């Protein structure tokens, strides 16, 4: 880790060879800057140019700060992929962590383990930040498809012990109506509501109904069983016939697309494990209520992938690109109070049992 002021970073990234040469000492595509001091800021045009260059580097960029940044530096800080700070530092982009060194090493370890997925994640995040949601969803699916054909996902598939597909005891999604509200309940409690192709298709069908019927004024999504959604059904990972077919399926049977269209009138109640799709899809809703015991995690980069259920479009729009990158790259979990403080959920209140 280099102890540099951000003024010195501006000089480093100005090099025409920065995109080829800036790496960690061991060759990992990672640049970590420990901001030990806040010198007099360089000229605004210098910082603007540095911020643009940082966003273009094919590496994961991390800034570690130890005290409140001067206002002049905030635009440059926002150009980093991840900002780590102690809990008492006030920066809207920062991941506030009790052990800054451990937080920084968590990023480094994750990038060393899956460099292709980690770099693809931050490149996708930068692109999505400036895109419309529909465009961001297309970019996410293309990136996901590319990584499905890559060596990191292949290695994860080869090493993972995945449950076998089972016969569904009933419909994976239950749709009911209470007046003008459509209630959509994920109902695979025996698999902790793992997000299967069948669940996706039935969820899309329910959301399409809400989009087509003007008498439906609101949508409530919840989950049955011990978890709202424990992520993608691992039994189905790697079963797509080929990456291009998978891309077409994701972009034509997209719950994320419909949730974005219906977001103003959609509420979600989450509880238990909210993993992968169990975080990504709720983040589109106008209101999310979390049970106090809910936890949130994005494990896809550790599988050699990126979030593929819309999370690179939905989550950054709630908590910012830097915190979304932190969750995705490290795979770290956060609890309901942290999710509330960051804006990933809107309220924390006990779940009402049915």
pLDDT, tens only, 161-188: 666 666 667 899 999 999 999 999 999 9
Residue 106 CB contacts under 8 Å (≥ 6 apart), including other chains: 330, 332
pLDDT, tens only, 191-205: 999 999 999 999 999
Residue range(s) of every CATH 3.90.226.10 domain in the chain: 2-113, 128-348
For residue 291, give both structure tokens. Answer: 């049970």
Q: Exposure of 122 by Cβ count < 10 A (0-12 exposed, 13-18 middle, 19+ buried)?
A: buried
Angle of helix 115-129 relative to helix 321-330, nearest 10 degrees?
Answer: 160
CATH number of 128-348: 3.90.226.10
Q: What's the rounded Cα separation, in Å, for the pair 313 and 306?
A: 12
Buried b vs exposed e over 59-90: b needs ≥16 C-beta within 10 Å? bbbbbbbbeebeeebeebbbbbbbbbbbeebe
CATH number of 2-113: 3.90.226.10
Q: Whose CA is closest to 113, among 125, 105, 123? A: 105
pLDDT, tens only, 244-302: 988 998 999 999 999 999 999 999 999 999 999 999 999 999 999 999 999 999 999 99
Q: From the first residue on, what is the mean pLDDT of each consecutive set of 10 residues in the chain (354 residues)?
A: 63 78 82 81 85 92 88 87 90 84 94 97 96 97 96 92 67 95 96 94 96 95 96 84 88 95 96 97 98 97 97 97 97 96 96 72
């Amino acid at each position: 880790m280099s102890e540099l002021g951000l003024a010195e970073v501006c000089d480093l990234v100005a090099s025409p060879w920065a995109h080829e040469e800036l790496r960690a000492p061991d060759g990992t595509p990672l640049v970590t800057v420990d901001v030990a001091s806040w010198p007099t800021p360089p000229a605004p045009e210098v910082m603007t140019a540095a911020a643009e260059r940082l966003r273009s580097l094919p590496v994961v960029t991390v800034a570690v700060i130890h005290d409140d940044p001067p206002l002049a530096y905030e635009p440059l800080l926002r150009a980093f992929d991840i900002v780590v700070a102690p809990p008492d530092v006030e920066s809207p982009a920062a991941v506030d962590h009790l052990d800054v060194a451990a937080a920084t090493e968590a990023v480094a370890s994750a990038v060393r383990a899956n460099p292709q997925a980690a770099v693809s994640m931050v490149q996708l995040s930068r692109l999505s930040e400036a895109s419309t949601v529909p465009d961001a969803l297309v970019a996410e699916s293309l990136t996901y498809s590319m990584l499905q054909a890559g060596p990191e996902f292949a290695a994860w598939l080869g090493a993972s012990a995945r449950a076998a597909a089972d016969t569904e005891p009933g419909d994976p999604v239950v749709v009911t109506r209470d007046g003008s509200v459509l209630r959509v309940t994920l109902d695979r409690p025996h698999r902790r509501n793992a997000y299967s192709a069948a669940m996706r298709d039935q969820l899309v069908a329910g959301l399409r109904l809400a989009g087509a019927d003007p008498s439906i004024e609101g949508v409530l999504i919840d989950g049955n069983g011990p978890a709202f959604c424990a992520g993608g059904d691992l039994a189905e990972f790697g079963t797509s016939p080929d990456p291009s077919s998978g891309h077409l399926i994701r972009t034509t049977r997209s719950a994320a697309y419909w949730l974005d269209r219906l977001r103003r009138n959609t509420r979600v109640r989450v509880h238990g494990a909210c993993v992968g799709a169990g975080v990504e899809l709720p983040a589109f809703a106008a209101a999310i209520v979390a049970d106090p015991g809910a936890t949130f995690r994005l494990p896809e980069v550790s599988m050699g992938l990126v979030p593929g259920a819309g999370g690179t479009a939905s989550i950054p729009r709630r908590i910012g690109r830097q915190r979304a990158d932190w969750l995705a790259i490290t795979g770290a979990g956060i609890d309901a109070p942290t999710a509330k403080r960051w804006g990933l959920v809107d309220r924390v209140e006990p779940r009402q049992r049915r």
